[in-house]
Amino acid sequence: MDSLSTLTLAGLGTLLTATVLPAIVTFIICIIAAKILLSFFGKFVEKTPLDKTLKKFALSVVKILVYFMVIVIMADKLGIEVTSLLAVFSMFGLAISLSVQNSLSNLANGVLMIIAKPFVAGDFVEAGGVMGVVKEVGFTHTVVATPDNKIIHIPNSELAGGKIINYSSEELRRVDANFTASYDCKVEDVKASLLKAVKATDVFLDDPAVFINVFAYNSSNIEYVVRAWVKSADYWPGYFGLMENVKKAFDEDGIQMTYDHVNVHMIKD
């Protein structure tokens, strides 16, 4: 019995010395090397002009790959067949990819949008049937705050497959507005009154110059178009200010702002 115990302990000692201890040493070395490698890569990525979200994504991907290599090295050191392990991981990865296909689509489109940058956080956009300010561009969803302060999470696949209108990408925007006046009012007087309304709205710029002209001759009125430029951040103050000031200018100048109506002429026999 003592001989059997001695042989068992000797066998365990040999196994520990030949397999386990080298595996532990290899594991420690691999972990230290992985941390050093990830540290260098992190410093390198921080110096690049990539978007902050894309930097986090790149670090996450490299971290997964590095630690996967550590697992493969440890499996080989413990005598586990690496090809079998890779096959298991491949089947496991395929099963996961099929179950989260929509999420992976959102992730891929999110990465593409971060690289292409059709918008960034803080831009006022219209996309995915939603209009508002972009709060965050995430990997799977983009967070938008609507003008009435509702927070909407839009899947990135919907954004990438649809039309995106960015109202903040350019420094200047043009306010386009149409107004009507009676045929009885002189064209020159109406245009002068509209220019007066533009001048009274202090957010409009002198350069580019304001454009005011006749747009159409309708059945009951003459339609005029006003095109004036503002800084992008001043678009809505400019638009609403113009709407208010045109009515004031028309009232002061005696310009009749008409509406659709029908004139009936009675003829006596």
Share of the chain above pLDDT 70, in %: 75
**Contact at 8 Å (CB) between 140 and 156?**
yes
Q: Which tokens sit at 132?
A: 């508002």
pLDDT range class, residue 10, cuts 50, 70, 90: very low
Per-residue pLDDT, 140 = 78
Which residue in 228, 221, 234, 246 sits closest to 174, CA to CA? 228
Looking at the domain assignment, is residue 108 inside a domain?
Answer: no
Looking at the domain assignment, is residue 112 inside a domain?
Answer: no
Does 69 share its domain with 122?
no
pLDDT range class, residue 260, cuts 50, 70, 90: low
Does 249 share its domain with 177?
yes
How far is CA 133 from its chain centroid?
Answer: 9
**Contact at 8 Å (CB) between 133 and 124?**
yes
Does 204 share its domain with 220?
yes
Distance CA 87, CA 45 (A): 32
Q: What are the tens digits of pLDDT across the range 190-246? A: 999 999 999 999 999 999 999 999 999 998 899 999 999 999 989 999 999 999 999
Looking at the domain assignment, is residue 55 inside a domain?
Answer: yes
Does 134 share its domain with 201?
no
Give the CATH number for residue 152.
Answer: 2.30.30.60
Does 43 share its domain with 88?
yes
Looking at the domain assignment, is residue 268 inside a domain?
Answer: no
Per-residue pLDDT, 92 = 63
Q: Which of 2-6, 233-237, 246-250 has the lowest mean pLDDT?
A: 2-6
Residue 79 has pLDDT above 90, yes or no: no
Rounded average pLDDT over 51-68: 73
Give the CATH number for residue 191.
Answer: 3.30.70.100
Residue 6 has pLDDT above 70, yes or no: no
pLDDT range class, residue 12, cuts 50, 70, 90: very low
Q: What are the tens digits of pLDDT across the range 135-178? A: 988 777 889 999 898 999 988 888 877 888 998 888 999 999 99
Residue 74 has pLDDT above 70, yes or no: yes
Does 160 share its domain with 193?
no
Looking at the domain assignment, is residue 6 inside a domain?
Answer: no
Looking at the domain assignment, is residue 9 inside a domain?
Answer: no
Question: Would you state the torsion angle of the CA atoms of residues 34, 38, 44, 45, taken in this order, to the nearest 10 degrees?
Answer: 150
Could you give the number of structural domains in the chain?
3
Host domain of residue 225: 172-253
Which one of 68, 99, 130 terminates a domain?
99
Does 178 share its domain with 246?
yes
Does 147 share its domain with 179?
no
Per-residue pLDDT, 51 = 60
Residue 224's beta-bridge partner residues?
A: 179, 214
Looking at the domain assignment, is residue 94 inside a domain?
Answer: yes
Does 24 share its domain with 64?
yes
Backbone angles phi and psi of 169, in degrees to 5:
-70, -30
Q: Is the pTM of this model over 0.75?
A: no
**Contact at 8 Å (CB) between 108 and 114?**
no
Per-residue pLDDT, 31 = 83
Does 23 share its domain with 39?
yes
Residue 95 has pLDDT above 90, yes or no: no
Does 95 share its domain with 22?
yes
Looking at the domain assignment, is residue 1 inside a domain?
Answer: no
Residue 23 has pLDDT above 90, yes or no: no
Per-residue pLDDT, 89 = 66
**Bond into 208 cis (ω within 30):** yes
Per-residue pLDDT, 9 = 45
